[in-house]
Structure 1
C-alpha cells in the first residue's frame, strides 16, 4: 500500500486574506479547494490585524519570506497600496490594492477586483456590450475605484454616483478619461447599459426607472440575491451577483501568490452550500 504524500510539509507556501472583520470571508474556501485539486504543498489562511500597526507587521513578515502573498480587503486596501514597492497600472489607477505578492524582500501590489467584475459580467451577462455605452457605478470606495478603471478600460462611459461628491470627483480625476461624476441618480441611469452597486448598503434605486435590457450587478454576495438584484430580476432584467466577481478575482490572485494557474474546478456549488443558497 502506497503511503499518501503529506500535502503540507516544511516547504509549505502560505497565502492569506487580510481584513477586519474577516471571519465571513469565503476566500480560504476558494483557494484551498484549488490547492487541494492541484495537490500543492500550500495553505491559504485568514488574518485580522486589529490596527494599521499590526497590518504593517504582517507586511514585514511577507518581506522576510514567511508569506507568499496576501489578498487584502477592507479596511486595509489603501494602506496595502501605500506600502508596496511596485504597483500594477490598475492598482495605481485605483490607489488601492487587494493583492500583495512578496518576492525577494519586495512587495508588489495589484488590484484584481476590476478583472473579477469583468469576468463576472462575462459569465452571467454574456450579451452585455460595454464599449461606447454608459455604466452607472454606485459608490466611490476601493472596490468602486477598481471597477471604474476596469469598466473605463473596456470602453464604457462610467458615471459615478456617490453621496460624497468630493470622493467621487477624486476617483474620476484619478482614473481619468471615460469617468465622470453625476450628482443626480435619476439622470445618471438614463440609457445605462449596466448599473453596478459598490455600496455596502442597498442603494436607493427604483429599478422601474431603468431601461429594458439594463444589466444590474451587486458586488455584495451575502445574501447572494440582494434586494436590489431581486427587484431587478422581478422587473425582468438580467442580474449579476457578487459571488461571480469574488471567484473571478480569486483566479489571478491564486496564480500570483502560488505561481501556478488556478485549476478548472468549479467552487461555486460548495460556496452556495455554505451560504445556504442551495
Structure 2
C-alpha cells in the first residue's frame, strides 16, 4: 500500500487529507494520506529518514517549505527558482526530490476558471499584491504562462524589488501608493497578501479603475468570497477564489506518489467547500 502525507506545525487545519483521500476513494487505490505534525527542530531528521519510512512522499506546509528546499537531495528547476518546496517525492534510488507545485496549481486554476485564452483576453499584464512565498510562486507561474508584464506591489518596497529577479525583463516592482494609477492598465489583479482572510482586515482598494476585461484573483480561501472578490463581482469582473489553487497544486504530488493523475472536479470542490463552512 502506497502512503503519503502532509507535514507541518501545526497541521490540524490542513485540508490536504480530504483532497487526496477523496481521489484515493474515487480511483479505488489502496493507499493512505495523513497529517504529520513535525516541529521545526525535528524536521531535518524527518526528511533524512524518508527513504526508509515507507512513504512515497508528501506535501510540505508552514513552516517547513524553506527548510525542505534546503534538505531535498534534488530540486526541480521550478523549486530552485521559487526557493521553496511544497512537494517531496522519494525516488527509486532513495533520493528525495523537492518540487514546488504552487505555481502550476495557481495557473491551472486560472485556466479552468477563466478559459485557456485568458492571457490574451486580459492583455497579458498582471499586478501582484504582496511579496511573500505565495507571491513568489504566483510570479513564477505567470512568467511561465507567458505574460509580458508583471507588476509587483508591496508595502515594503524592498521585498517587492527582490521578486523581480524571478522574471527578468518581465517583472517590475511598483509602489503600493501607485496602485490607483496602475489599475487602468491591469488585466489580472492577484492578491497574495493575508488581507481579506478571516481575522484580518480587508484589502482597501477601489476596483473602479480596472478595465472591464480585467479578472481579479485572491489566493485566500477562508472565507471563500473575500471582500475583494465580492467587489470584483459587483463590478461585473471575472473573480477567481483561492480554493482552486489549493486543489490544483495537489495534482502533481498525487500523480507522483500514486501513479495516476487525478482531476479537479466540482464534486471535490463541493466537499472542501462544505468543510470550510462553520459548524
TM-score, normalising length: structure 2: 0.88
Aligned CA distance change for structure 1 residues 204 and 76 (closer, same or farther; 3 Å): farther
Does residue 126 of the first structure (1) align with residue 115 of the second (2)? yes
Aligned-residue offset at 1:263: 5.3
The answer on 1:152 being equivalent to 2:140 is no
**Aligned CA-pair RMSD:** 1.9
Please name the residue that 2:181 is paired with.
Answer: 187
Deviations 1:186-229 (A, max 9, x none): 23323111011111223332222322221011111111111111
In 2, the alpha carbon distance for the partners of 1:263 and 1:233 equals 27
Superposition TM-score, scaled by structure 1 size? 0.88
Q: Deviations over 1:52-89 (max 9, x none)?
A: x2221221231324321121122221111111121112
Q: 1:108 aligns with which of 83, 97, 100?
A: 97
**Deviations 1:228-258 (CA, angstroms, capped at 9, x unpaired):** 1111111211100111111111111210222
Q: Tell me how far apart the structure 1 counterparts of residues 256 and 246 of structure 2 sit (CA, whole Å).
A: 16
Q: Among residues 148, 155, 158, which one is paired with 1:166 in the alignment?
A: 158
Which runs of no fewer than 5 residues in structure 2 stay unpaired? 197-202
Q: Which one of the candidate residues 56, 70, 87 is aligned to 1:82?
A: 70
* Superimposed CA distance per residue, residues 16-63 of structure 1 (whole angstroms, 9 cap, x where no aligned partner): 112233222211101001111222221111123222x22212212313
Q: Distance in 2 between matches of 1:46 and 1:40?
A: 19
Distance 1:176 1:162 in 2: 18
**Is 1:50 aligned with 2:39?**
yes
Aligned pairs, number: 265
